[in-house]
Amino acid sequence: MKLPLRRASVLRDSQLVSMGDIAFQLIIFFMVTTTFMRDNVQIDLPRLPLADKTEAAVSVALDATGKIHLDGQPVDTAGSLEGQLRQLLEGRTEAKERQVRFRCDARLTQKQYREALEAISNAGGVIAIMHDPEAP
């Protein structure tokens, strides 16, 4: 007597629900265990008290058109500003003595006032940026 062969039934349902659970758990695992990018350089920034008044003897200002003024007198370029500041700050060794008050119009962009800031820094000045305090 011959026994009939039993064939295994073909799996018609795919169990994708459990595969979704596994993928979700893997994503959560990698999110929790991954260290996010951090700055590799540790910098200890100086802590200074807030001051509402500066005693800077030298003042650089940029008006709304981007024109540079040194102590109220117009200056042609940032290069000539650097040369004049170098002469004014010559012989001053203390940071407080080399302080330069920098003011610029609020509508100017960083591209417009960057050259003036670089000129002050290259001349050896310590920049004190002036601003109006926010209204309460």
Q: How far is 5 from 63, CA to CA, in rounded Å?
A: 96
Instruction: Give residue-wise pLDDT tens across range 8-21.
Output: 666 566 666 677 78
Provide the terminal-to-terminal Cα distance of the chain, rounded to the nearest Å. Answer: 101
Enumerate the domain spans of the chain: 58-129
Beta bridge partners of 70: 60, 73
- Averaged pLDDT of the chain: 77
Mapping DSSP onto H, E and C, the string for 9-76 reads CCCCCCCHHHHHHHHHHHHHHHHHHCCCCCCCCCCCCCCCCCCCCCCCCEEEEECCCCCEEECCEEEC
Alpha-carbon 127 to chain mean position: 17
Residue 34 pLDDT more than 70? yes
Tokens of 85: 């500041």
CB atoms within 10 A of CB 63: 13
Give the pLDDT confidence score for residue 38 in this predicted structure: 55
Give the pLDDT confidence score for residue 20 in this predicted structure: 78
Instruction: Give residue-wise pLDDT tens across range 57-107.
Output: 788 888 888 889 888 888 988 889 899 998 988 888 887 788 888 888 878
Q: Which CATH class is domain 58-129?
A: alpha beta
Q: What percent of the chain has pLDDT over 70?
A: 67
Residue 118 pLDDT more than 70? yes
Give the pLDDT confidence score for residue 113 in this predicted structure: 85
